[in-house]
Amino acid sequence: MRALTETELERMQGAQESAMFDRCDIWRLLSFGTDKYGKPTQTWVVNASYVACGLWLGYPTFSSREALGLTQVAELDAVLRLPLGTDVTNLDRVKVTYRLGVEQDSPLMYEVKGPVLQGPSGIRVGLKLVTA
3-state secondary structure 32-83: EEECCCCCEEEEEEEEEEEEEEEEECCCCCECCCCCECCECCECCCEEEEEC
> What's the CATH superfamily of 6-129?
Bacteriophage SPP1 head-tail adaptor protein (2.40.10.270)
Res 80: pLDDT: 95
Q: What is the CA radius of gyration of the chain?
A: 17
pLDDT tens per residue, range 67-91: 555 555 557 889 999 999 999 999 9
Res 69: pLDDT: 58
Domain ranges of the chain: 6-129
Distance between CA atoms of residues 31 and 130, nearest Å: 18
Q: How many residues can be counted in the chain?
A: 132
Position 98 pLDDT exceeds 70: yes
Contact call for residues 55 and 22 (beta carbons, < 8 A):
yes
- Sign for the pseudo-dihedral over CA of 96, 97, 101, 104: positive
Distance between CA atoms of residues 89 and 91, nearest Å: 5
pTM: 0.81
* Range 119-129 burial, b when 16+ CB lie within 10 A, else e: eebbbbbbbbe
